[in-house]
Each structure stands twice: as C-alpha cells, then as structure tokens.
Amino acid sequence: MLSDRMKKRLVKDRPMTTITLRIPVDVVESLKEIAPQKGLSGYQTLLKLYISEGLRHDEEKYAGSSVARLIEALKKLGVPDDVLAEASREHEAA
C-alpha cells in the first residue's frame, strides 16, 4: 500500500516551485550527456530523477529506522521475537 506522501508524488499536476541551484559546469555537461542515453528529454529531468531517487532512499531509511527503534523498545518490554517478526513482515507488506 502506498503512503499518502507517495500518492501525492504520483499526481502529475501537483504544485511546483522554482529554485536556483549552483552546480559546477562539468557536472551539468555530464548530465546533458547522460540524459538522452537514459531516454530523458533534458538534464533538468535527469537531475529531478536523481533527487527523487535519493529522497526515496532516505525516506525509506529514516522511516525504517523509526520502526527498528520501536521493535527494540518492544523487545525490552518482553514482546516475543516471533510476534515482532510477524508484525515487521506485515509492516513491510503494507
């Protein structure tokens, strides 16, 4: 099941903002070379893709760490490992 945050990201016409970002010229040149090889229309699209991938990775990492902390706290309270394992599997499947 997708989180509400992920569902919002799938909406095509969601609000956008413009930012200014200083990037070395050689990095932009590399982005321009790689974008068409990945089938993308331009380097800005590739840059947004890289940002999205990194953001998803970090969101999973930090959301997962809060689950790990909860599991450790429940272990300390004596919740059996098999119950924690089952709850963890259900959480991952959601």
- Read off the pLDDT of residues 47-79 as tens digits, 9 standing for 90 and up: 999 998 998 888 877 776 777 778 888 889 999
The share of the chain scoring above pLDDT 90, in percent, equals: 41
For the cut 90, the answer to whether the pLDDT of residue 12 exceeds it is: no
The single residue listed with the structure tokens 């499947």 is 93
Contacts of 93 (CB under 8 A, 6+ apart): none
Domain spans of the chain, in order of start: 23-93
Q: With a cut of 60, say whether residue 2 has pLDDT above it.
A: no
State the chain's mean pLDDT as an integer: 85
Question: Which of 14-23, 55-64, 82-91 bottoms out in mean pLDDT, i.e. has the lowest?
Answer: 55-64
Distance separating alpha carbons of residues 74 and 82, to the nearest angstrom: 12
Q: Where are the alpha helices (DSSP H) in the chain?
A: 4-9, 25-37, 43-76, 81-93
Q: Answer yes or no: are the C-beta atoms of 52 and 46 closer than 8 Å.
A: no
